Amino acid sequence: MVISRHITGKIRSARYLVEAILLPVYFFLPWLRWGEHPFIRLDIPNRKFYLLGNIFTPQEGYYLHLFLIGMGLSLFFFTTLIGRVWCGWACPQTVFTDVFDWIGRTILGSKYGKKDASKPGKALVHFLWILVSILGALAWVSYFADPYEMINEVKSSAFLASPPVWTYFTAFFTATLYLDMAFVREQFCKYACPYARFQTVMMDANSVNVTYDFKRGEPRRKAGVQEGDCTACNLCLVVCPTGIDIREGTNVGCIACGKCVDACTKTMGKEGKKTLIGYMSETQAYQPGTKVRWIRPRSLVYGTLLLCVLIAAGTLLYNRVPLYANVLPDRIIQPMEVPGGLVRNFYNGHLLNLTFEQRELKVEVADSTLRSPVHILLGGTEKPAIQVSGNDSQDFRIILETTPLPEDNSKPTHQISLRITDLKNPNFQLKKTIPFRIPIK
């Protein structure tokens, strides 16, 4: 594990500011409420996802597909423009590494990361690391379980006798976070992170990234003789959290955190010169004074695809009706013909109200391929509507009956479109197409 030397500067201060925003958001977001309901939560046991007062179900998995495609295209698009900035500024691996390093430096001072550090100090550091790991794991689990219920369960007398399921996940994620931060760290960024593997494919010579100005810096100072501006102080190497040398060029281990920028800025400042390392493109390093080409074929392709996904997702969300309906033919009672030529089909329906208010839903026949009129019965009665409580489901039974005309008998199966409408809000409307079968005579 590499414990890099601490460095101060404008980049480091800016990253502290970003982390001061991200950490409270991560820890406190699960505690927020939208009215009386969670602001965000993935409720796996009940198969519901709460977000900004909306409820999504697995049947709406296409939103997840669009989200993942959008995230992937965002990764490609922003990497093409500004390199691996996510890794150095917002990745949880980097943010928690800074938190753990701050604890270590606060307790051990200049002995942090050295073998001659006091054993009691090391023990205290690891103890605090475990506490932070527990808090981080609890925050993560809170995105899947109600944190208020978790507190009540901890206070209950049956907590130790019969621990709830979330405690096992908390223990697992605590161990994962602690082992990662205490023993793995930069090894994950260099050898296990998938982003590191393909970042060089996404980037080109015009991508803005942490880059070394080799034209000014080389050849480096050697044996007291200075030819280039680089003094060979190696401070950029000792402050790097992944232990790479940025002067060797674009490296798969570089997370674009900017520590080497602050280090070189400090060293070159003593020489009265501009830093040799900064956020710039390779083209700017080769040709000083050139501007960044933000618009180029690669960025246009990724940006266009990302825009298409965002438009598709926005259109679907705008037209979304927060209601799930499933109507299937009864497998037990087959379509039948009763005396008088009346044909009946039986269906089992399921309604899921994806809002937090009670809905009174009317079910009616909107369209049909039958020439004869279709009569609908809900629950075997003339009941006009079905009441479904907020964030709840309701099973119901439908009977469709008609006296088919001679031309209707030419086809054994017809299509009927049901319209489900909120009696108080006509815009809250959903259509469902079901088959209507005529018994073979």
Cα distances from 145 to residues 74, 164, 232, 258, 392, in angstroms, run: 29, 11, 53, 37, 19
* Per-residue pLDDT, 158: 82
* Per-residue pLDDT, 20: 95
**pLDDT tens per residue across all 441 residues of the chain:** 678 889 999 999 999 999 999 999 999 999 999 888 899 999 998 889 999 888 998 888 899 999 999 998 998 899 999 988 888 899 999 999 999 999 999 999 988 888 888 999 999 999 999 999 999 999 999 999 999 999 999 988 888 888 999 999 999 999 999 999 999 988 888 888 887 777 778 888 888 999 999 888 888 887 667 778 898 889 999 999 988 899 988 788 888 899 999 999 999 999 899 999 999 988 888 888 888 889 999 999 999 999 999 999 999 999 999 999 999 999 889 999 888 889 999 999 999 999 888 999 999 999 999 999 999 988 756 667 888 998 899 998 999 999 998 888 888 899 999 999 998 888 889 999 999 998 876
Residue 127 neighbours by CB distance under 10 Å: 11
Domain boundaries defined on the chain: 10-76+84-193, 323-437
* Per-residue pLDDT, 180: 94
Q: Provide CB contacts within 8 A for 92, sequence distance 6+.
A: 26
* Per-residue pLDDT, 35: 80
* Per-residue pLDDT, 156: 87
- Measured in residues, the chain has a length of 441
Is 118 in contact with 109 (CB distance < 8 Å)? Answer: no
* H helix runs in 114-146, sequence order: 119-141
- Going through 135-252 in order, the beta strands assigned E by DSSP cover 209-212
Helix (H, G, I), strand (E, B) or coil at 389: coil
* Per-residue pLDDT, 221: 80
Supply the DSSP symbol for 355.
S
Q: What is the rounded CA–CA span in Å between residue 31 and residue 37? A: 10
- Going through 275-358 in order, the beta strands assigned E by DSSP cover 277-280, 323-329, 336-338, 342-353
What's the fold here for domain 323-437? Immunoglobulin-like (2.60.40)
Residue 239 neighbours by CB distance under 10 Å: 22
Nearest to 361 by CA among 350, 369, 373: 350
pTM: predicted TM-score of the whole model, two decimal places: 0.85
Only one residue has tokens 């009441």, namely 387
Residue 323's beta-bridge partner residues?
353
* Per-residue pLDDT, 303: 94
Residue 422's beta-bridge partner residues?
361
Q: What is the rounded CA–CA span in Å between residue 255 and residue 269? A: 24
Quote the tokens at residue 177: 């976070």
* Per-residue pLDDT, 96: 95
Q: Provide CB contacts within 8 A for 420, sequence distance 6+.
A: 323, 325, 351, 361, 362, 363, 429, 430, 431, 432
Q: Provide CB contacts within 8 A for 51, sequence distance 6+.
A: 39, 40
